[in-house]
Amino acid sequence: MGRRKKIVQECERLMDTPENIRNIAIAAHVDHGKTTLSDNLLAGAGMISEGTAGEQLAMDTKEDEQERGITIDAANVSMTHEYEDTNHLINLIDTPGHVDFGGDVTRAMRAVDGALVVVDAVEGAMPQTETVLRQALREGVKPTLFINKVDRLISELQEGEEEMQERLLGVIADVNELIRGMIEEMDDIDDDWTVSVEDGTVGFGSALYKWGVSMPSMQRTGMDFGDIIELEQNDKRDELHERTPLSDVVLDMVCEHFPNPVDAQPRRVPRIWRGDAESELAEDMRLVNEDGEVVFMVTDISMDPHAGEIATGRVFSGTLEKGQDLFVSGTAGKNRIQSVGLFMGSEREEVNRVPAGNIASVTGLRDAIAGSTVSSVDMTPFESIEHISEPVITKS
Ligand code: GDP
């Protein structure tokens, strides 16, 4: 059996254990390294070869290897990662980097429970950093921070340990100030969603050279900033990557600090759905009940040359299966699901079913648009998604 097939099978096995699922987005100001970091995660999870990560990717997971050179430009991908002896299913949704796509970023946030915000260590927090943070918090999505391009502080700016730490703490303080301000504005988030080195919600590193660190990883590997500076200065980046690989550090952070659907849905559902909170349907969504009525929120429609229109989104309740006739909000009649699948990079893999708590891609929903609520019973649709794109704020 090929590697890709094995990964798909493992994803299918893990889909039924929502406690071990993390639905995440990576978001950043343009050029801060979102794409390069995503590639690293795919490589770390075995989806693409290590060598090509960071070089605008070649897929090498196809069994015949004929498809090398395909660029993953919309990396919606499901991958697995072992954390504390348990395999986790991580569904990563791509968010467009450009500010004009603010609406798409917000839609992507509806499907996930955690957002890894990438900030360039040299540039610091920029306007789009603020925009993506606001989009995440409005959707009840928890942020963590990855400070990227730390290699540049060492090799280009020749910063010493103290100077570098000061700069990194400055970036964290700026991001936390943004988060605090937004939480105050919203006044319905009780959690302290600021990030900190000590609790492990901040990582640092270089997506380009594939190394990363966090407080827990430094404790595990025994490496400190002094070691990192020395290796980076001496051009021993391969050794840095081997001793503290970026993908492990980031995926560990994802598993440890982002909520699973069972923890996230009870908090998120009341924010995004104004239907009867006492109903069975509300209960099914809060409990991520895979045996409940089907509730699927479409966050993206894409075109596939073979399969046609594909609707991607989050299954909040029930289980999506081929042949189901489902209501599509705002339209009359029902649509029949033709196929159910997962995204593995640019390729879609058909599976038999996708239960609650996961991100699915389906065909057959000809009347659905991004933002549609698709369900097995006639129901109050989800709240429309507010499009935040600086500086204008409009409503869909
Ligand atoms: P995106 O727009 O956020 O997706 O950013 P990209 O991943 O496309 O990266 C933008 C540019 O920054 C590219 O030229 C990358 O090679 C470069 N880059 C990304 N990560 C790093 C890093 O850690 N260190 C350095 N020096 N350059 C990086």
> Which atom of ligand 1 is nearest the CA belonging to 39?
7
pLDDT of 352 strictly over 60 = yes
Instruction: Give the pLDDT of residue 42.
Output: 83
Provide residues with CB under 6 Å of ligand 1.
Answer: 28, 30-36, 97, 148-149, 151-152, 206-208
Using alpha carbons, select from 207, 215, 303, 315 the residue that is nearest to residue 261: 315
- In tens, the pLDDT along 19-75 reads 999 999 999 998 999 989 988 888 877 766 555 554 434 333 333 333 333 333 445
ipTM of this complex: 0.99
Q: Ligand 1 pocket test: which of 29, 30, 31 has the largest number of ligand atoms within 8 Å of its C-beta?
A: 31
Q: Give the Cα separation of 49 and 60 in Å (integer).
A: 6
Nearest to 304 by CA among 59, 76, 114: 76
pLDDT in tens, 4-14: 788 888 999 99
Distance CA 335, CA 342 (A): 20
pLDDT, mean of residues 245-271? 95
Q: Is 372 helix (H, G, I), strand (E, B) or coil?
A: coil
HSE-up (13 A, CA, CB side) for residue 314: 29
Report pTM.
0.90
Query: Which atom number of ligand 1 is nearest to the Cα of residue 28?
Result: 3
Distance of CA 120 from the midpoint of ligand 1 (Å): 9
CA gap 36, 206 in Å, rounded: 9
Detail the DSSP E strand segments found in the chain. 21-28, 77-83, 86-93, 114-120, 142-148, 202-206, 211-214, 295-304, 308-317, 319-321, 325-328, 334-336, 339-344, 347-351, 353-355, 359-363, 373-375, 386-389, 392-395
What's the CA-to-centroid distance between 31 and ligand 1, angstroms?
6
Q: How far is the CA of 146 from the centre of ligand 1 (A)?
A: 13
| pLDDT, average across residues 256-274 | 94
3-state secondary structure of 376: coil
φ/ψ of 343, rounded to 5, equals: -90, 130
Do 335 and 300 touch, CB atoms closer than 8 A?
Answer: no
